[in-house]
Structure 1
C-alpha cells in the first residue's frame, strides 16, 4: 500500500482489494468473530456491558439467552495438560475445575482484586463516572496515594481530599497519603489462585496472577468485576536443585534474563531485538519454599521483562503463613478506621474460608 491509495475492505470475506477492482491486495483473518460485534457496538466495553444488561434483563423475564450476539467457538484442540496460569484464568471464568484457557482464546475472567494508584486515580474516577458506577462489582478495590504523597502539587492535595471518599462510597478500600507503596498493601489483600489488575505495570501478584492495565480498563474491571482478555502464551522458567550458599534472592531474579540471553532468547542490542518474555506469562516453578514476600521479588521483576503476567508455584505452607499474617493486618485496618469496613470484613472471611480448606492449583505435568 502507498500513501493516497484507495482500498476496499471486506471484513466478512477477510480481503483487501484495490478500489473498484477485483485485485486482491491482501488476505487476512479476524482474531475472533467477536470483533465484528465490538465494531457494531462502538467498542469492546460497550459490547460487554450491553451483553451483560441484555442477559440480566432476559433472565428476569424468564426468556432464553439472546441470539443477537456472536458466540465464541467452543471447538478446542486436544491438549495434554494446562499450565498454572491457564487453570487460574479458567477458574476465574467459571469453568469446571481442571480445565484451562488456551493461548489466543478470548475470555472475560473475574477480577477479584483491583488496585488503583494516585497518578492514574483521577482518570480512573472519570472513567467510573462515565460507566455510571455507583458500586464496585469487583470483590475488593484498593486506592493508594503512594506516588504523590511526598511532594504533592496543589492538584494532588485536592485529589488526596476528594478521591478517598469517592472510592469508599462505592465499596472500595482507600489508603491514606503516607501509607506507602500500593503493592505492599495490595499483596496483603490477595486470595490464592485468583486474578486481579491494577493501574501500575508492577502490579504483579505473588499469589494468584494479575494483568496490569490502564486507567480505563482498571475502572471497567472495578465497576463490572470482569476484564476482557485475549489469553497470552506462557514461558516456563523452571529452577532445578537447591539454592547454594552465597546465592541471594536477587541472583535468582537476575538469573532469568541471564539464562535467556545465554540461550539466544533475549538480546540487549536494540537492532533485531529478541525478548521471549514480551507479552507472555512468566510461569516460575522449582522454588516452592520461598515466602510470598520473596516471591513478589520474582513476580515484580517480570514487569522489567515486559511480560503480560507472572505465576509462581509456592508451597501450601508459605501461602498459609502469609494469609494468617494478612488477616491480622486487615483486622488492624478496621480498628484504625480504614474503610469500606464491609469490603475488608468480606475479604477476611474469604481468607479464613480458604485457610479452613487450603488447596492450591497445580500445573499439569505435560502442560
Structure 2
C-alpha cells in the first residue's frame, strides 16, 4: 500500500517511483529483525530503567524545540543524517513504561487520589506542556487516551476521571476564548469539508472523494485517482483513504478487522502475563496501536477534525514503524514468558 499510494508523489518529487517504498522497506527489514531480537529480552529490564527511559523521552521533547526541523508550521522532527524521527514516538513508549511501573508500584492504592491520579497527572501534564510547544495536538491527545486507559484498568476510580474530564472541559473553553476565531474555523471546516476549499479543507475533501470513489470493491490495487497529486500525504496520514479507493469497502473493513483481531490478541497476551508489570505494559502497548488506528481512521473519514496522525504499520515513516515493531517484540516477550511459566 505504501508503494501504491506513494509512487505518483515519488515520481513528481524525486523522479523515482520507488523512492518511498525502498526507504520504507529498509526500515521494515530493520524493524522485523529488531522485533525478533527484542522478543528474547526480558521485559522486566524496562522497569529497572524506567526513569532513565522517561528522562530521555523528556530530553528529546525539549531538544526538538531547539534543533528540530520545522514542517507545516510544527517542529516535531530531529534530523539524524540518514533519516528524521519524532521524539514523540519515543515518548509514547516511555510514558507506557512509566505508567506500567506506577500501576505495579501502587496497585493496592489506586483508589486514592495521591497514588491513583497525582503521579500520572504530573507525568501527563509535563509531557503535554512540551508536546504543545511543537505543537503536536494529535500526539498529546493520543498520550492522554493511552494514559487514561492504563489508569482505568489499573484501578483509578471513575469519579477522578469525571474530575479530569471537567478540567479538560474548562481547558477547552479557555482555548476557545483565547483562540475563538481559529477554533471556530476548525469546527466549521470539519462540519462543512466541501465548502471554501482552502488549504485547510482540501485534504479532508480529497480524502472523502477517494473513499466515496472506492465503492464496495474499489478501483483495484494501483488504480487510485486521488493519489495523483490531489490528496496530500496519501502515503502517510491519509493512506487509509487510498486503501478505501483501491480496495473499496471490503478492503477497508478487512483492515479494520485486522486491527480488531490484533487488539483482542494483544489484550489476551497481556491478561496472561506472569506479573502486574507485564500485564500493564502489554495493555499500554496494545492500547497505543488500537487508539492510534481509531483516531487515524476517524480523521480520514472526517468523523473528527483533522489532527494529523498516522495509521500504525501502514503509514510511511521508518522510525515510527521501527518503534511499533520493536514494541511488538516486547509484547512477544510477554507472551513468551507467559508460555514458559505455564509450562
TM-score between both structures, scaled by the size of structure 1: 0.24
Considering Cα pairs closer than 8 Å and 6+ residues apart, tell me whether 1 or 2 has the greater RCO: 2
If each structure's strand is expressed as a fraction of its own residues, which one has the higher value? 1
If each structure's helix is expressed as a fraction of its own residues, which one has the higher value? 2
TM-score between both structures, scaled by the size of structure 2: 0.25
